[in-house]
Structure 1
Amino acid sequence: MNSPFGFHPANVGIAGYPDNGFIDAENIGVRWHRPSRYAFWFLIQPDLNSPAYDFSLYDYQYSVVPQGINILANIAPENPRFPQGYTLPGSYIPVDINEYTAFVRATVERYDGDGIDDMPGLTNPIKYWQVGNEPSERLTGFAELQRITYGAIKEACSDCTVLIGGATGFPDDYISKFDSRFAPILTELAGQYVDVYDFHWYGTADGEYRLTDTATGEDVYAHIRAAMTANGFSSELPVWITEMGSYSGDPADPPFAVQPFQTERQQAGDYFKRFVYSLARGVKKIFPAFGLMEGFKHNDGYFDHTGLIYNGQESNDLGLGVKKLGYYTYKKMTELLESSDWNNIQTIQESNNVYIYLFVKNNEPIYVAWWDYFDDPNYTPGDTKPITLTGLTETAVIVTDMVPDYNDGSEVTDYNNAFTVSTYPILDGSVTIDLGEDPVLAQPVVLGDLDGDNNVDLRDFSIFAQSWRQTGDNLAADFNNDGVVGWADLLTFTNNWLFGST
């Protein structure tokens, strides 16, 4: 459950698409699913005069989530936008608190996997619950709903984790809205009834990944942390972003301000930055929204363009099932960064429009870097920005451009060869890399070390000899990535012979 890679929601379901369900989520490495249908009291107990519960919708919804993808389930009395009489007028507070808490206990118990009153055939227990979503300033009582729901969840499942409903949403004037709408809820809760704080973060691909209020320039993440601490919450309380997004194409503008056209390349690079930057700040989980496949409100608006697979319906659409470049970037990101030490991400540089971060995976360093060229007043297309990594003990770095080298995802026919991969020699412990418009991931390696012991010796030569003249993708002994283990690779091997040996 340590993986930070989520999606809201991670499943796909549209007529005519052959890979409905979680096929794509599993393919690109999604490890967290936040279902779009919340566990609503009014749906599970449709008659308040009867104690009977109908879990049929949710038994199916949760049972189809594959093991290996964790579930974050939302729970609430009803959707406050479409009240069904299960809350007091103008309030989040249930009409009958005893009946509501009984519903919460029964629901959590059914899916917690402890062997008591569990759903028949349960294989993927739910240990993470979120109370409601995006509290509205038009209603009162959300702190009380959080308190009573938290208590009921813990009664049924003491080891379950409870999130507070996420604070919305866009960078413009975020802090003012947070202070007026959400901070009072934290004040009422007084440091209790929350295991994980959640906020939502959308925007454009021109640097809004940086968690900055675009109206004031203030640091949103720091402001939220300060508000939590001021209201009695631990400085170590985990923070998630269960809704995060940008878009490609040209969404219809209302109800938001005019959104500029964005390419698939911009969206892909921005999503990667949103993950890396947020993780480096200390955020633990991130869920792009809305949906792995495009389409939410179906009005061609912002949220109909944030997905990574076209649904064949909106503007700028390339056809049902066509994957965007961001689909492949997400997959490459999880392949290269999954199982990193998420508590040990170092910020190397955040200045001069250059951002460099150091991850550690299996005790090996991985650098992530990008240049926010769009903030450089002297930038012209084709320019590059050199960066130098120092203190390296390996012989080379393998640099992967994290956005496929195509205009759009319809051009990608071979994932294994979709990304530009370059090898830079390390000289005197340092290497200089040229940054372009796309973020890169740099892996220091010992070229020739084929058995992973940081030495180039006879065991590596034996592996190399067995690989001689092999052709194909991702061959360990194909050091120059030309698809064949040949003379150039032998030269590299001999140049590093006995590296690390004593």
Structure 2
Amino acid sequence: MPSKKSTLSVLLLILCIFLFYLNLSLYEQEGVQEELEPTYWESPFGLHGIEKDYKAMTDIGIRWYRLGIHPGPTFRQKIRQFDERYAEICGSGLNILENFMLHGWRKLLGNAEYAELVRFIVERYDADGINDAPKINGTEPKILCWEIGNEPNIEGKGDSCPPEEYARFLKFIYPVIKRACPQCKVLFAGLVPFTHDEYLDIVLQNGGGDYFDIVSLHYYGNATGDYAYGVKMINEVKAVMAKYGINKPIWITETGTYSGSVNGIFQSEEEQAADLVKRYVVLLSAGAEKVFWAWGLYEGFGGDGNQYFDQTGLIYDGRGDYDKGFGVEKRAYYAYGLMTEKLEGFTNIEEVHLREKNVFLFRFDKRNGYV
């Protein structure tokens, strides 16, 4: 007859085996769940604009959405509106890059009330379980990337800010964000050509290098080869950072071109679509981590329908001489979808050198092959 001690040992062994297979089963289920519901955090495919048709965005593989806010004294009164919008965006499968606009930055710099409002906002949407926004329709609003300003190197614009003062602003607001959300990423304001490298250089001269995590760049142009200028910008920014011993990620948070006619220069839908793919391919190969098409999913920038930014969208808005009707998808819309279908999840990019002049070939390695 077995002793009580040996019986207990057998029972413990059976329990250990049961727990092992139970944990294995749960692990496999979690793995399946992650595979079915990926966050696409590493995806490079983004869009900037003022949109509400989030499904039309995710249908073509857009995974990041860039916004812009200018929080003021009435922000807390409208907080429910922001909760609902952010929850709807996150629930659709999009990651959010939010931008703290710097209109009136002189009044904001060193302002304790503004710093507290920024802290409140970042804490509310960091999804860390402390003072978070409530779930809405089962989705928790979540924002882990914050940009500080927009195109500060354009003189006379709302966010225009001398580089020395922008360095001061970064030193002021970066610690506020990081104390509220250490895991959040803070982006340097999107810089435009042609003073991007000079502006960044002065900010770094003034000690701003420790007060941002990612550099943001903007550029547009025509569909006649201007896509390549982004590579030049990236290389120039890398050179400036290297000068100060800095190596930080680069995101292109605005880029695009139009279809239609601007100042007598006509571009077809086919030319816009081809340029879109070229921009993403060359920018990613040059080292950009993410690229955001702009302006917008739908056309329309407040003009008569015939201005540059009225025609850079991927879906017609029903206005303009070359518009085909509200809601009609342009060829660039389908080009974006095909591009993400082929390239999402790539692990490496290699430029294949060819002998033909002005012909470039890029190989995107994926886990199950290459494109």
Q: TM-score, normalised by structure 2?
A: 0.80
Q: How large is the RMSD of aligned CA atoms in angstroms?
A: 2.1
- Describe the superposition over 1:319-373 as per-residue Cα deviations: whole angstroms up to 9, x where unpaired: 10111000111011111111111xx20011276010100111124121xxxxxxx
Rounded to whole Å, the distance in 2 between the matches of 1:27 and 1:95 is 41
Rounded to whole Å, the distance in 1 between the matches of 2:322 and 2:237 is 36
Rounded to whole Å, the distance in 2 between the matches of 1:101 and 1:29 is 36
1:239 matches 2:263: no
- Describe the superposition over 1:177-214 as per-residue Cα deviations: whole angstroms up to 9, x where unpaired: 2245443223223421111111001111111111269x
Distance 1:212 1:278, change over 3 A: closer
In the comparison of the two structures, how many residue pairs are matched?
318
1:108 matches 2:125: no
Q: Secondary structure at the match of 1:242?
A: strand
Residue number in structure 2 paired with 1:40:
70
Q: Secondary structure at the match of 2:196?
A: helix
Rounded to whole Å, the distance in 1 between the matches of 2:353 and 2:316 is 36
Distance 1:230 1:112, change over 3 A: same
1:260 to 265, 268, 282: 265
Residue number in structure 1 paired with 2:48:
8
Residue number in structure 2 paired with 1:126:
143
Distance 1:180 1:364, change over 3 A: closer
2:86 to 62, 65, 73: 62
C-alpha contact 2:197 2:237 (8 A) present in aligned 1: no
Distance 1:159 1:240, change over 3 A: same
Distance 1:273 1:74, change over 3 A: same
C-alpha contact 2:316 2:326 (8 A) present in aligned 1: yes
2:180 to 138, 156, 174: 156
Q: Secondary structure at the match of 1:250?
A: strand
C-alpha contact 1:310 1:322 (8 A) present in aligned 2: yes
C-alpha contact 2:96 2:145 (8 A) present in aligned 1: yes
C-alpha contact 1:39 1:58 (8 A) present in aligned 2: no
Residue number in structure 2 paired with 1:405:
none
Rounded to whole Å, the distance in 2 between the matches of 1:298 and 1:64 is 28
List aligned pairs for 1:179-328, cutoff 5 A. Answer: 179-211=197-229, 219-234=232-247, 237-251=248-262, 253=263, 260-299=265-304, 300-328=306-334
2:353 to 349, 356, 360: 349
- What displacement does 1:61 show? 2.4
Rounded to whole Å, the distance in 2 between the matches of 1:356 and 1:349 is 7
Rounded to whole Å, the distance in 1 between the matches of 2:58 and 2:166 is 35
- What displacement does 1:229 show? 1.8
- Larger relative contact order (C-alpha < 8 A, sep ≥ 6)? 2
Give structure 1 regions of 4+ aligned residues with deviation exceeding 6 angstroms.
Answer: none
C-alpha contact 1:191 1:232 (8 A) present in aligned 2: no
Distance 1:194 1:96, change over 3 A: closer
Counterpart residue identity of residue 110, structure 1:
R
Rounded to whole Å, the distance in 2 between the matches of 1:24 and 1:40 is 27
Q: TM-score, normalised by structure 1?
A: 0.60
2:171 to 147, 152, 155: 147
Identity %: 37
C-alpha contact 1:39 1:75 (8 A) present in aligned 2: yes
Distance 1:340 1:212, change over 3 A: closer
